[in-house]
Amino acid sequence: VQLQASGGGLVQLGGSLRLSCEASVNIASIYNMGWYRQAPGKEREWVASIMSGGTTNYGASAKGRFTISRDTAKNTLYLQVINLKPEDTAVYYCNAEIQSRSRDSDGVYTYVGYWGQGTLVTVSS
């Protein structure tokens, strides 16, 4: 599975942007896809996720200004961000979590995660 993130760049304070993450596989079958970000000097932080059934979840810092979505026809994941703030400056990574087709000997599914290369978002004032 390959993930190609794009859409980052230099954005004015209060502006908006949309990040894209194109996958090399059919994303409709992916168990969970998400966006993470890593600000300078900080640990990687979960931003938002979307399950294969369409359920979305957001981290505390993302509620209200971030919207995760996907286009299964284009195998692309999106993250729309509005009213950008300086603290949104970070490298944004997309992630895909693939569920095994069958349960293992313990009767549970296993999961494998894949990461895109990241796209840098810089919010300027």
pLDDT of residue 125 exceeding 90:
no
pLDDT of residue 3 exceeding 90:
yes
Helix H or strand E encompassing 50: strand 45-51
Max mean pLDDT among 27-31, 96-100, 119-123 falls in 119-123
Residue 8's contacts (CB-CB under 8 Å, 6 or more residues apart) are 17, 19, 91, 92, 119, 120, 121, 122
Exposure string of 15-48, with b = 16+ CB inside 10 Å and e = fewer, is eebebbbbbeeebeebbbbbbbbeeeeeeeebbb
* pLDDT, tens digit, 9 for 90 and up, residues 55-74: 999 999 898 999 999 999 99
